[in-house]
């Protein structure tokens, strides 16, 4: 009966957490959505992902990650991996019976991130339970529904892998936490943590930051506290990590493929896993009875791993974008998720919860006893590292949002008791306001600050049902009709629009906003910023350009609009003789200019 009661309580908790997430997403869809309601996805990554999945379904070639119509005529590729592709296909198949696979895949892309958010919230509830208790862990799961750093990547229309990586990070935290605070079953949890972290590397290599935190705190506990059980925990975690990486590499790339790649699962990551496991296996033979000896051995071993990785893979310690041309880094800096937090107000919006969460978590490290102290230390380390990353690269606010909820929920449960001795009216009012302050206070202050320093938003002008400044969906319908839809044509357009044109038309493009297709972007810039008509036309011939599409009312390509260059001339309608302007319907002509290239 007791087990049935606990199962029932857990079921109700899961329902409560999922309901909270669903309510927030439904409200967002109903009140704030200006994307999916008009048949669009949030950004170019979503369209590129759907193009990739459609190609997998059409060809059945699991190991082929090329995009032949991108970077035409040379072809392009993407550095992503297959787990999210499989999830999208699995989500689309039940709907395909009713609406066809292509439309079902679009709706799978619309829904995948909110669904993963719900799963991440439930996983967070499970992960935090040993540290903050059952009641507070439910609150943590519910708080993730209103963490803007999470919602920035989890709302409808985000057909990308960010929330999946966040989910893996939460699961890894949960297993590592149990390995740290549950001595009786620590080895099993450590093995699971290793497997989960390996899966995370398969999904996206940014999970290596989480892996470093988990391995680092587990190693520190072994060095400081004991050399017996802690050694087994670290060895099991390393074993799970190595075996998981090997399995993932074989599944993703096939047996015998040892390509070196830093931004996608490769032999680089398997080698790192092997060195970590080798270190912990070797330490088992060393008579390390004292803490200082374990610290010294760990430091020396870490140095050996460091030296080995640098010797084998010299670029391993540099950003995965190290081989990307400098102009690409400038372009990525203009993309919101790659940019730093612009001001304190935006920091409060994206990651403000950490202002309350981090001091509270530090206080728990000081106050708590063994072994819970190690769990709080893991949380503190994560909050510090993720926040530092988020300040410089806003996409890390997802992790700040997820892990801040653990400390905030614990704070809420303790703070609520402050009003127990007051009169009922004061008690209820005080608790409500205090909980609201903890949950959304920093966010509210940040939004108020942004509102006070921003200009009022202008009225959206719709073009054929599309509210975006550059309505590629409407333009695609024109390009799919005669005479332009009679055969695939090569379109030179903004790299921001390349993936959507691939998704919505049968045409080819030069640039897409993904670093494996750097040359396509560079050649696009060379052409559109060109001032020498002879050289510009020669490169266009080399690239087999048929059509040139420029948006008239978006500043994202302003770096090209220098007086006298081709881009500015096209915007002004002053094209060279070898480009002829295509007459567009009036509604499209307000947003675009389209040119056809003269036959050689």
Q: What is the residue-averaged pLDDT of the chain?
A: 90
% of the chain beyond a pLDDT of 70: 90
The pLDDT of residue 223 is 92
The pLDDT of residue 421 is 65
Last residue of a domain, one of 373, 389, 412: 412
The pLDDT of residue 1 is 45
Same domain, 588 and 498: yes
Higher pLDDT, 561 or 312: 312
Last residue of a domain, one of 386, 412, 438: 412
- The answer to the question of residue 339 being in a domain is yes
Can you tell me the distance from the alpha carbon of 538 to that of 526, in angstroms, rounded to the nearest whole number? 11
Q: DSSP states of 441-489 as a string?
A: HHHHHHHHHHHHHSPPPPPP--BTTB-SSS-HHHHHHHHHSTTGGGS--
Same domain, 202 and 324: yes
pLDDT tier at 460, thresholds 50, 70, 90: low
Least reliable range by pLDDT among 245-259, 391-405, 457-471? 457-471
Same domain, 405 and 500: no
**pLDDT, tens only, 325-339:** 666 666 666 666 667
- SS3 assignment for 158-223: CCCCHHHHHHHHHHHHHHHHHHHHCHHHHHHHHHHHHHHHHHHHHHCHHHHHHHHHHHHHHHHHHH
The pLDDT of residue 47 is 97
**pLDDT, tens only, 496-555:** 899 999 999 999 999 998 878 889 998 998 999 898 999 999 999 999 999 999 998 875
Same domain, 479 and 359: no
Query: What's the whole-number mean pLDDT along residues 360-381?
Result: 95
Higher pLDDT, 481 or 462: 481
The pLDDT of residue 31 is 87
Can you tell me the distance from the alpha carbon of 444 to that of 421, in angstroms, rounded to the nearest whole number? 29
The pLDDT of residue 428 is 74
The dihedral region occupied by 556, where left means phi > 0, alpha psi between -120 and 50, and beta the remainder, is alpha
**pLDDT, tens only, 257-267:** 888 998 899 99
Split into its structural domains, the chain has a count of 2
Structure-token pair, residue 333: 């800096």
Can you tell me the distance from the alpha carbon of 54 to that of 96, in angstroms, rounded to the nearest whole number? 13
**pLDDT, tens only, 383-422:** 999 999 999 988 999 999 999 999 999 999 988 777 766 7
**pLDDT, tens only, 44-67:** 999 999 999 999 999 999 999 999
Least reliable range by pLDDT among 90-104, 127-141, 268-282, 312-326? 312-326
3-state class of 561 per DSSP? coil
Q: What domain range includes position 563?
A: 472-597
Write the CATH number for 505.
3.40.50
H/E element holding 67? strand 66-67
Last residue of a domain, one of 412, 433, 459: 412
3-state class of 326 per DSSP? helix
Query: What's the whole-number mean pLDDT along residues 239-264?
Result: 93
Structure-token pair, residue 198: 């390996």
The answer, yes or no, to whether residue 3 has pLDDT greater than 60, is no
Same domain, 496 and 374: no
- The answer to the question of residue 22 being in a domain is no
pLDDT tier at 556, thresholds 50, 70, 90: low
- The answer to the question of residue 380 being in a domain is yes
- The answer to the question of residue 38 being in a domain is no
Same domain, 477 and 401: no
The pLDDT of residue 517 is 85
- Could you tell me the sign of the dihedral formed by the alpha carbons of 93, 150, 251, 199, in that order? negative
- The answer to the question of residue 319 being in a domain is yes
The pLDDT of residue 377 is 97
**pLDDT, tens only, 187-235:** 999 999 999 999 999 999 999 999 999 999 999 999 998 755 789 999 9
**pLDDT, tens only, 119-133:** 999 999 999 999 999
- The answer to the question of residue 174 being in a domain is yes
- The answer to the question of residue 466 being in a domain is no
Same domain, 188 and 277: yes
- The answer to the question of residue 300 being in a domain is yes
Same domain, 353 and 490: no
Structure-token pair, residue 569: 């001339």
pLDDT tier at 464, thresholds 50, 70, 90: low
pLDDT tier at 467, thresholds 50, 70, 90: confident
% of the chain beyond a pLDDT of 90: 69
Structure-token pair, residue 163: 């929330």
Same domain, 523 and 398: no
Same domain, 407 and 476: no
The pLDDT of residue 241 is 98
Q: How far apart are the first and last CA of the chain?
A: 83
The answer, yes or no, to whether residue 459 has pLDDT greater than 80, is no
Query: What's the whole-number mean pLDDT along residues 568-588?
Result: 92
Structure-token pair, residue 459: 């009225």
């Amino acid at each position: 009966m007791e087990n049935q009661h606990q199962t029932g309580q857990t079921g109700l908790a899961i329902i409560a957490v999922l309901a909270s997430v669903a309510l927030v997403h439904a409200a967002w869809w109903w009140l704030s959505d200006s994307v999916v309601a008009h048949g669009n996805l949030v950004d170019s990554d979503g369209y590129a992902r759907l193009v990739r999945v459609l190609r997998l379904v059409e060809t059945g070639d699991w190991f082929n990650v090329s995009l032949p119509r991108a970077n035409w005529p040379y072809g392009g590729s993407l550095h992503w991996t297959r787990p999210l592709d499989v999830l999208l296909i699995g989500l689309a198949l039940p709907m395909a019976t009713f609406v066809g696979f292509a439309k079902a895949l679009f709706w799978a892309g619309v829904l995948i991130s909110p669904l993963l958010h719900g799963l991440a919230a439930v996983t967070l509830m499970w992960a935090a339970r040993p540290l903050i208790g059952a009641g507070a862990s439910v609150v943590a799961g519910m708080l993730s529904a209103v963490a803007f750093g999470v919602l920035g990547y989890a709302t409808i229309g985000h057909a990308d892998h960010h929330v999946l990586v966040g989910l893996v990070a939460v699961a890894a935290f949960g297993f590592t936490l149990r390995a740290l605070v549950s001595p009786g079953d620590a080895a099993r949890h450590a093995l699971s943590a290793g497997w989960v972290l390996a899966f995370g590397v398969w999904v996206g290599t940014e999970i290596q930051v989480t892996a470093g935190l988990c391995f680092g705190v587990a190693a520190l506990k072994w060095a400081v506290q004991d050399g017996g059980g802690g050694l087994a925990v670290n060895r099991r975690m390393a074993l799970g990590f190595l075996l998981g990486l090997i399995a993932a590499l074989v599944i993703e790339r096939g047996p015998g493929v040892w390509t070196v790649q830093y931004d996608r699962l490769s032999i680089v990551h398997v080698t790192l896993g092997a060195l970590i496991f080798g270190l912990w296996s070797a330490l088992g033979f060393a008579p390390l009875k004292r803490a200082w000896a374990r610290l010294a051995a760990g430091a020396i071993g870490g140095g050996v791993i460091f030296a080995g990785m640098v010797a084998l893979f010299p670029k391993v310690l540099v950003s995965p974008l190290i081989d990307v041309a400098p102009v690409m880094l400038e372009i990525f800096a203009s993309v919101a998720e790659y940019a730093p937090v612009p001001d304190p107000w935006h920091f409060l919006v994206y990651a403000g919860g950490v202002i309350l969460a981090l001091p509270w978590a530090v206080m728990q490290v000081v106050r708590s006893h063994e072994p819970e102290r190690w769990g709080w230390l893991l949380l503190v380390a994560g909050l510090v590292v993720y926040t530092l990353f988020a300040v410089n690269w806003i996409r890390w606010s997802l992790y700040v949002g997820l892990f801040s909820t653990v400390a905030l929920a614990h704070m809420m449960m303790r703070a609520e008791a402050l009003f127990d001795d007051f009169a009922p009216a004061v008690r209820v009012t005080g608790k409500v306001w205090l909980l609201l302050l903890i949950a959304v206070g920093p966010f509210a202050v940040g939004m108020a600050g942004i509102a006070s320093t921003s200009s009022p938003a202008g009225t959206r002008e719709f073009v054929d049902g599309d509210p975006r400044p550059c309505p590629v969906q409407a333009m695609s319908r024109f390009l799919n009709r005669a005479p332009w839809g009679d055969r695939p044509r090569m379109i030179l357009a903004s790299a921001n629009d390349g993936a959507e044109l691939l998704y919505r038309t049968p045409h080819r493009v030069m640039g897409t906003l993904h670093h494996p297709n750097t040359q396509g972007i560079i050649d696009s810039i060379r052409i559109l910023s060109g001032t020498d008509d002879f050289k510009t036309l020669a490169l266009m011939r080399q690239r087999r350009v048929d059509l040139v599409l420029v948006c008239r009312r978006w500043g994202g390509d302003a770096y090209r609009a220098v007086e006298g260059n081709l881009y500015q001339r096209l915007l002004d309608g002053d094209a060279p003789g070898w480009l002829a302007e295509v007459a567009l319907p009036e509604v499209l002509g307000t947003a675009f200019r389209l040119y056809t290239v003269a036959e050689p």
